[in-house]
Amino acid sequence: MATTTGPRQKELHELLSRDMVDIYVGDENTHWTLHEKLLCHRSKFFRDVFYKKTGNKNQYYGLPDEDDGPFRLFVAWLYADNIPTPHEEKDLGPLMDLYLMGEKWEIKKLQVDVMDAVRRWYHDSDTLPSLRRVQYIYSNTTDDSPMRVLMVNCIARMLVFGEGMPTHWEKALRRNGQLAVDIILAVQKWKLDGESVPDAREEPVLPIVEEAEQKAEIKKEERDGENEEKHNGETSDYQTDAGQEQTEGEETETAIEEDE
């Protein structure tokens, strides 16, 4: 029985035709000359740009909203399938932009390659996506973005199995309802064993009340501390003003005595 295989992936030398296209990137219109066949083979977006069925064929295209750095990474990937290995957290920034190019230009393999590099970095460094990274992806992608799913799955695990919820994540979830919903949906997909998850209908309610009292007391102490600091600040300002008035009064009296 014959096995069915997918379409053969073309070798690089088969895609380096003579036809070239000019790409202008960023505010300064940085000029790149790329092999048309290779670019269009990789990207449906660029196939639509350069292989229009009607009118004159395009030989150039502008990308004013892209940055030179991430586009340089794109060219390296385009010709060598190379995704740089991140060595520290700041190296993820250009990779996130490279991933967004993969989404915008409809390049599935680029998305997979970048996501895998990001996933491996978080795994090997035993860290999780920062709120800043998650917010950046959410502000630049749509609801069905694969990178959103990857990041949400990581954060959901942290929130479910972590000790409490970090304050900055609590504030973010209160503001971003979609992010909160996505985290809940991610947890639902885990199909957790019901025996391992507490059932509030079977648990005593006293601990719930006591925990609420503790939280209320902590909030009250925080408010009292803030009010005390504010009061001390106002008292200090008043004392300073009073001291200045007294000094000005003494100076005035001295001046009168000298005149006499």
Q: Are 115 and 150 in contact (CB under 8 A)?
A: yes
pLDDT band, residue 84 (cuts 50/70/90): very high
Q: Which of 71, 63, 60 is nearest to 25 (CA)?
A: 63
- What integer pLDDT is reported at residue 174 of this predicted model? 87
Q: Are 15 and 37 in contact (CB under 8 A)?
A: yes
pLDDT, mean over the chain: 83
Q: Are 21 and 33 in contact (CB under 8 A)?
A: yes
CB contact set of 127 (below 8 Å; sequence gap of 6+): 89
Q: Which of 106, 133, 103, 105 is nearest to 118 (CA)?
A: 133
Which residue reads 């967004």 in tokens? 100
**What are 206-258's pLDDT values in tens digits?**
887 888 888 889 888 888 888 888 777 766 665 655 556 555 555 555 554 55
State the Cα–Cα distance between residues 83 and 77, nearest whole angstrom. Answer: 6
pTM metric for this prediction: 0.71
Supply φ then ψ for residue 98, to 5 degrees: -65, -40
Mean pLDDT of 73-94: 94
Cα separation values, 215 from 82, 117, 175, 224, 225, Å? 51, 41, 21, 14, 15
Which residue reads 């919903």 in tokens? 181
**What are 137-164's pLDDT values in tens digits?**
999 999 889 999 999 999 998 888 887 7
Q: Is the pLDDT of residue 31 over 80?
A: yes
State the Cα–Cα distance between residues 122 and 154, nearest whole angstrom. Answer: 9
Distance between first and last Cα of the chain: 123
- What integer pLDDT is reported at residue 162 of this predicted model? 80
